Structure 1
């Protein structure tokens, strides 16, 4: 069931904008940037965390420096799209670490996966041994990214 949207004013949106770019910023500096004092900024931050708008903090990693420069987008078509089949696929896809993103689509295919590997040979292995073996997969179609022009969070 989808989460309920919460009301946010310009200060809440400013907090999210700053944190999405600099998650380790101090509360004092965050307050200065959004134009509030520290206490109300901290209260707003806690409210955004408690409401589930801010779901966590993490390090942003450079996949290229980690040897993961190959990106492919995979269209996946399922042989069965009943709810139990969708749930089985959804659960199983989490076991493939190379799959960075998985989106159910309203399209001529059922899912779009973003897959990151070191090279085309590794991608071919992941596709053949892992993605194609996911529950109810009937066919896949791969699109290899040549360059990432923009990647960001929300």
Structure 2
């Protein structure tokens, strides 16, 4: 997969409502020759992903606004605006939004897992958080799609 130079403004990048968050694809694996993907995420409290582990990529978070606790393996990090947290592949991790909302950049190397969030979501009709419709997520679908993209949802991680 070949990459070519590109530039994008956040307001022009594709945005999705996915599992209760607003996810904007700043750079995809397709655009970067597979090297990485970069996502801008807005997560409200309670819309965090379940505990999981990536088998194909490292994942890193740069917090722009809000407060987040990131548990990585047996360590826990409190992240606030300006914080960076690295989660190596094959190490379980869990995010907990501590403020009403967080805004962060998520870097995945190599790229590709961003397709999971696109497939689980829908194009965002506005650059706002999705409405809370009270519906429970389809856990079986999440587990199946996560496995397809090299991630494992951990139902019993302590």
> Normalising by the residue count of structure 1, what TM-score does the alignment of the two structures yield?
0.25
* Bigger relative contact order (CA 8 A; separation at least 6): 2
Structure (1 or 2) with the larger CA radius of gyration: 1
In terms of fraction of residues, the more helix-rich structure is: 1
> Normalising by the residue count of structure 2, what TM-score does the alignment of the two structures yield?
0.24
